[in-house]
Chain A
Amino acid sequence: MSAVLEARAIGMSFRNGDELTQVLKGVDLTLGPGELAALLGASGSGKSTLLSIVGLLLRPTAGTIAIAGECVDGMSDAQRASFRNQRLGFIFQFHHLLPDFTATENVAFPAAAPAGGISVAMRQRARELLARVGLSDRMDFPASRLSGGQKQRVAIARALMNNPELVLADEPTGSLDRVAADQVLDLMREINREEKATFLICTHDEHVAARCTRRISLSDGRIESVISASAGDGGS
């Protein structure tokens, strides 16, 4: 089975005046279909930078990346934007839903913007996803009237709208209380199992990492360890 993500020798350095800071130093990372991987590391370890590079939001200064078998290195900004739209899903700590739109419209947004409007099929898909994340009774609520946990569920549904092969989550439970965070994590695991979408979750929270099938630890810009949980592990 081919890898969903294949990153080779990823390097990233930033220049700050005369000083060159190397954030990533030759990172190799491969994720297979249906994996639920946690990317762990202390603050400044480079995990968010790696996630941004894998999410095509940042260009690495070294290395190559292939997603779902397609090399993305030579793509233009517009091609990368289109690729992100069609093949990747994002969940951020701050959901940034459009407050003036309903939950359904927010979920459908990634498909609707390039298409020029929300079609019946898109609306149907968005409603199915909202039902999937347990928000059947909030579909037509404006996003501004949802609780924090509900908003993050909508964000998860939105990330899945275009059937992405790879979902990237950056501290997805960082702004939630423990109960809501557990609910969101359970939901992500469930979707991961049922939709077979590959998840890469960037976190510094051991509690989150414990529920994933693989723990990838970054330290000082390098992968320190990769620990795979056996089937059925990953917390419960």
Chain B
Amino acid sequence: MDVGPVSLASVARINDLGGTEGFGPIDTSESSEPFHADWEARVYALVFALLGKGLYNIDEFRDAIERLPPARYLEASYYEKWLAAIETLVVERGVVDRDAVEEAVRA
């Protein structure tokens, strides 16, 4: 079935979670460390560094998270989403090439 752009635009994005059901109990555990692993801290620093340089603003960053494919949005950890968002943005801004990223990842 073909879904036109108008009806798509009226559908909430996957991130609009308020009031939805089915996520089960909350894991209320907390760590005294802000990050679970070093890479999370690096991604955190990278997000703010690129923000500070004006490569994107905070709304563009959030938008890049929110337009992840819904399945990816739900399965990715928090900082995986951040990493995916900056990958999207640096490619879209022409700072690095998508193929170059994939090639370097496989190298």
Decide whether A and B assemble into one complex.
Answer: no
